[in-house]
Amino acid sequence: MLDINLFRTNPDLIRENLKKKFQEGKLPLVDQAIDLDKKLREAKGEADKLRNQRNVASKTIGGLLAKGQKAEAEEAKAQVAGLGQKLESLKVSEEELAAELKKILLVIPNIIADSVPIGKDDSENVEVEKFGLPFVPEFNVPYHVDIMEKLNGIDLDSARSTSGNGFYYLKGDIARLHSGILSYARDFMIDRGFTYCIPPYMIRSNVVTGVMSFAEMENMMYKIEGEDLYLIGTSEHSMIGKFIDNLIDPAQLPQALTSYSPCFRKEVGAHGIEERGVYRIHQFEKQEMIVVCQPSDSEGWFVKLYNHTVDFFRTLDIPVRTLECCSGDLADLKVKSIDVEAWSPRQKKYFEVGSCSNLGDAQARRLGIRIRGEKGNYFAHTLNNTVVAPPRMLIAFVENNLNEDGSIRIPQALRMYMGGKEAIRA
């Protein structure tokens, strides 16, 4: 949510940003917001004027009664009552104007960074850097489900019977590998100075609207029927919500947290949900990074965060690349975003395994996350990034560590989480 002062002082910046994000349909909302803000300020000014008149009239009543001027006192009381009715009416008008203005502000996207490439969709994202040598083995690399099934590690048919498409059972060493990767990710981030957290897996609607746009909410979140609770789509939601309405002392910043959670997503409009596999699913687990920091530090933290993910994947011998999201691919709250993509030897291309985002003060402004300042309080900046999200990451893992005999090599970093095993075999 943008600062209303930006609409007053530089509306052209907002209009230009909408064009960069290919959201020209929202251009009329800028003028509507400016008009509503003007009416709201006028209503507040009129209310202040009426309160002053009421205070003056109230003060005269006692003096008139003391002088025995009862008729004049009654007239003053009637005036006070009339002013009170006008104030009540203005209060209703203020509330309606404020609600209408907020509704518009919530759908106007954040101002993107100058460095963000301009493009309509993810096909125009820009490669930044590659890490590790992408390779294709001389032997055939089967579909990831076929690899796991031969190792007796996955059961999709039973999951369809119990839950439907987009769910899975992991078993045996594949299930252990899944848990081992998450445990390794936890320790990896703790070793890099992050505080480990396990957050609530359900959050209230005011937190949901504080951390994401309405479009994301509609396409992602599962609501608990009859309650003001939603299942989280990522632990970022409840972790950022942890700071709602906080006034943070600068000495307590930055807050660098890493959190584990299951994640639940509707995946409305997603392609491939009917396919066999674990790439796009309704339920998964994830290790996340969250940072709350000074505005001046967020750009530096952004680079640090996505590099942590790159380093994590490289310790597991998985080639990756970083891809900068273009303007049209950025969610409305994001200032800048980098995707981390892993190499798929079977598909001979990269695919997304994580996303790092700088949201500027968008979430903080919606949730009231402020920093105490000597010259006045101000909004913090928030960032988030995926450390790892199996089982999607398992696709990259089994393909890049597959041996010709169908076994899967276990990199040194994971062996302590796999009972010392060097490979998973049928």
Phi, psi dihedrals of residue 223, rounded to the nearest 5°: -95, 140
- Report whether 154 contacts 168 (CB < 8 A): yes
Nearest CA-CA partner of 369 in 379, 360, 358, 377: 379
Q: Show Cβ contacts of residue 138 under 8 Å, excluding neighbours closer than 6 positions.
A: none
pLDDT for 273: 45
The Cβ of residue 415 has, within 10 Å, a number of other Cβ atoms equal to 14
Sign of the torsion formed by the C-alpha atoms of 190, 194, 197 and 202: negative
pLDDT for 67: 72
Strand ranges for 325-426 from DSSP E: 336-344, 349-358, 370-371, 378-379, 381-388, 408-409, 423-424
The Cβ of residue 417 has, within 10 Å, a number of other Cβ atoms equal to 18
- Classify 333 as helix, strand or coil: coil
pLDDT for 271: 52
> Rounded to whole angstroms, how far apart are CA atoms 54 and 58?
6
CATH architecture of 4-105: Orthogonal Bundle (1.10)
Class of domain 122-424: alpha beta
Domain ranges of the chain: 4-105, 122-424
pLDDT for 274: 45
In the 8-state DSSP scheme, what is residue 113?
P
pLDDT for 83: 75
> Rounded to whole angstroms, how far apart are CA atoms 414 and 397?
12
- Report whether 102 contacts 11 (CB < 8 A): no
- Report whether 280 contacts 273 (CB < 8 A): yes
pLDDT for 269: 55
- Report whether 321 contacts 131 (CB < 8 A): yes
- Report whether 142 contacts 345 (CB < 8 A): no
The Cβ of residue 226 has, within 10 Å, a number of other Cβ atoms equal to 6
Is omega for the bond preceding 391 within 30 degrees of 0, making it cis?
yes
Per-residue pLDDT of the chain (426 residues; tens, 9 = 90+): 899 999 999 999 999 999 999 999 999 999 999 999 999 999 888 888 887 777 777 777 777 776 777 777 777 777 778 777 888 888 888 899 999 999 999 999 999 999 999 999 999 999 999 999 999 999 999 999 999 999 999 999 999 999 988 899 999 999 999 999 999 999 999 999 999 999 999 999 999 999 988 777 778 899 999 999 999 999 999 999 999 999 999 999 999 999 999 999 987 655 554 456 888 889 999 999 999 999 999 999 999 999 999 999 999 999 999 999 999 999 999 999 999 999 999 999 999 999 999 999 999 999 999 999 999 999 999 999 999 998 889 999 999 999 999 999 999 999 999 999 999 998
Nearest CA-CA partner of 338 in 314, 321, 317, 318: 321
